[in-house]
Amino acid sequence: MPAYAANTYYKSAAHKSNLGVLTEARATNIELDHSEKDVTTRSISFHFNSESLTAKAGKAVVLLAGTLLVRQLLEPSSINSSNVLKNLKFILKADLPGVGENYQDHVLVSTTYEAKKGVITYDNLGYNDTFRAAAEAQYEKTHDGPLAASNSMLSWIDLHYLASCGKITHMHRSLWEDVRKYKATLLQKEQYRIQEL
């Protein structure tokens, strides 16, 4: 999975005359064509500068909407598990089990660094067989070295450990004000309601 669309797709194609980039555009719907054997993307609807526009798909569509927006784009486009959409009275266009399931919307900020030549990093464990073998032998013998250090750790903490009940109530109200302000779809509102539980 690409970590950043600019590096993964744009950088290698930026020079092409048939490429246009619209920053601050937001996809709203995926239109599909059905055949007996396959479902293909026909076009993408999107908002840009207060206009509703449509871009036709030539060969392929690459969806890079991020953690927060993939589900919000696929479900209103009727692309999801048939079990989910039938309960919401949507007409299923593409049965794609797993859309938006088994995860919580979250933002993770990852920081990367470029080290000077000769500086030993955790990359050496993955790309240098000699270094990795020496690190494994060192750990087996003395329980120290690169394999004894923690590279990074992540833990989800209950919000009640970080904020008072009053602050959480304020955050909750603010969320729903934003949902109303940005005119969330019925499906998006249902997603937020489920996450409250």
Chain centroid, CA 54 distance in Å: 23
Angle between helices 186-196 and 165-181 (to 10 degrees): 170
Output the pLDDT for position 2: 45
Output the pLDDT for position 48: 93
Coil, helix or strand for 184?
coil
pLDDT digits 0-9 by tens, 49-103: 999 999 998 877 777 776 667 777 887 788 877 777 777 777 778 877 767 664 5
DSSP 45-88: EEEETTEEEEEE-SS------HHHHHHHHHTTTTEE-HHHHHHT
Q: Which residue has the tokens 């833990």?
A: 155
Strands 39-48 and 51-56: antiparallel
Other C-beta atoms lying within 10 Å of the C-beta of residue 12: 9
Chunked in runs of 10, what are the mean pLDDT values of the chain (197 residues)? Answer: 65 86 86 78 90 88 72 79 74 74 58 84 87 94 88 74 91 85 74 70
Contacts for 128 with CB less than 8 Å, ≥ 6 apart? none
Every domain of the chain and the residues it spans: 5-95, 121-153, 159-196
Give the predicted TM-score (pTM) of the model. Answer: 0.46
Output the pLDDT for position 148: 87
| The two three-digit tokens of residue 130, written as one number | 């000699």
